[in-house]
Each structure stands twice: as C-alpha cells, then as structure tokens.
Amino acid sequence: MQKITIVLFLASLWLACCANDKPVGTSATQAPLLAEAASAAPDTLRPTPKGGAQKPSSGAPTKTSEKAAGAPAPAPNAGRRLAGFVEVKSLDSSIQLDIRYATVHNFTKAKIYDCPRCFLRPEAAKAIAKAQNLLRRQGLRLKLFDCYRPRPYQQRLWDKVPNPDYVTPPAKGSMHSRGAAVDLTLVDAQGKELDMGTPYDFFGPEAHTTYTQLSAQVLANRRLLRRTLESVGFQGIRTEWWHFSFRGKTFPLSDAVWNCRE
C-alpha cells in the first residue's frame, strides 16, 4: 500500500510540471514577435518589375486641358535671341506647323515647350525649305511636329519619361538639341495629313520604317517622305517614320530657348 501511495504521488507531480511547460522551440518572448511578423507580411513591397519605367502610351492621346496639366516654370535662358538658328517659317511661310510638345497632345500628356516655334540650324532650315519646294510641285507640303529642342526642354521631357528607350538623356543630347533634327509628315494642298499608317509618336513596330504589313498607299507615302528628305541631306531612323536628322554638318548641343513674346 505504501508503494502505491508513493507511485501516485510521483505521478501527480509529473502531471503538474507538464501542464506548466511551453511548446518546444517557442519562448515567452518569441510568441509576440512571431505574431507581429505574421501581421506585417501582407504589407511587404513586391520587387519592381524588370525594365524600369513603363512604356509610354501610344496612339491618339486622351484629351486633357492644358490648364489642368499645369503650366511648367519658364525654361532657363528663355528670352535670349537664338544666334546661329533660323526660324523655318521665315524661309517658307507655307510650311505647316503642329508643334505637339507645346501642347498636352503628345505622348507625355504634358506641355513641354512654353510656346510653339520651329527653329533649325541655317543649313538644316534651308534644306527643309528646299524639300518643301520639291513637294509643292506635286501638290503636297510638309507639316512639322518638332524641330530644335533646347536642352532645358529635353530635361523636361526626360523628367516626364526617364527611359532611354524613348527619350535621349539630356546629358547625352539628341539631334533635336543640336538644331539638326525634325519630326514631320506630308499634307495635301488642303492641309490634310497623308496616311502614314500610324499617328506621330506611336511606339510600336507599325511605326518602324522596316515594317511592311501596310497598304501600298501607306508604303508609297512613307517612301516619298523619306526620298524627299534624303535628297536634301537628311537621313531617317528605323524606329520612327517621322524623324529625320540633317547630315551635312555637325552642330553642338544648345541650351538657348526661344522668346515667346516676339
């Protein structure tokens, strides 16, 4: 009987100890930390996708009022006379202008230029006037979307789309910032744009000059634009049917900004 009593006593002591033990591997201080980590997990940021900035939208821009977009601060050097540049319309007033970066109707949906003017280096401007004269004989004209782009405006563009796949970094500078590049198309005698297959500043293979899955008329229009510009000293690029750079001379980058009050 005495042995039974001793066994029962030891068994009760063992049960009491087990009831007060914590689960193996979890201390009293670890429990709240685990709970905190579990609650924070859903807020963890996902890794940024490879490729950086998203591809700019293409096609027709959405209608956004310039007032809503907000007017940018005046560009540095604005108001200086542009020494070494010629305003294209001073050589031929029949050249049509639609300077998109002076409006919100461009792929950035923001106004980049303070006002719409078209300047080029003298040699490039004279070549554009010559191309206009060649086209006039066929009942056609040029319509320019972009010309000289001062580096302060190139900086604004980069600030909107900091992606070298679509915008040249300001430090490197583009042919536009040298006053030696134009973005343009063809229009008929009534000012209607000829069909080029895509809108201006369309980012896609359809805008490439090597893309041939287009109508015969579109291909003919692109060919006429390219051959006319090449005949006066310009050269196009593969990815944009509208972009041409003057190759007759090398020009430095420029920060000078045209005066909007002239």
Taking the C-alpha atoms of residue 43 and residue 9, their distance in angstroms, rounded to an integer, is 53
pLDDT band at 166 (very low <50, low <70, confident <90, very high): confident
CB of 106 within 8 A of CB of 201? yes
> How far from 170 is each of 31, 100, 180, 246, 247, CA to CA, in Å?
54, 19, 16, 20, 21
CA–centroid distance for 110 within its chain = 11
d(CA 86, CA 179): 10
State mean pLDDT over 70-80: 52
* Catalytic site positions: 240
Write down the pLDDT at residue 72: 56
Q: What is the DSSP letter of 183?
A: E
Kindly report, residue by residue over 89-139, the tens digit of the pLDDT.
Answer: 999 999 999 999 999 999 999 999 999 999 999 999 999 999 999 999 999
> For residue 248, what pLDDT band results from cuts at 50, 70 and 90?
confident
**Angle 152-254-248 (CA atoms, 0-180°, nearest 5)?**
135
Model confidence at 149: pLDDT above 70: yes
pLDDT tens per residue, range 184-206: 999 999 999 999 999 999 999 99
15, pLDDT greater than 90: no
Q: Please give the pLDDT value at position 82.
A: 87
Give the tens place of pLDDT for each residue, 229-242: 999 999 999 999 99
Per-residue pLDDT, 233: 98
CB 236 within 8 Å of CB 244: yes
Q: Is the pLDDT of residue 183 over 80?
A: yes
Domains of the chain, each with CATH number or no CATH: 86-246 (3.30.1380.10)
The token pair at 125 is 């401007």
Lowest mean pLDDT among 54-68, 139-153, 155-169: 54-68
pLDDT digits (tens, 9 = 90+) for 21-44: 443 344 443 333 333 333 333 222
In this predicted structure, the answer to whether residue 223 has a pLDDT above a threshold of 50 is yes
pLDDT value of residue 152:
96
Quote the pLDDT of residue 41. 31
pLDDT of 75 above 70 = no
CB-CB contact of 260 with 114 (8 Å): yes
- Whether 107 and 74 have beta carbons less than 8 Å apart is answered as no
pLDDT for residue 60: 37
CB 132 within 8 A of CB 147: no
Which of 16-20, 188-192, 225-229, 239-243 is least confident? 16-20
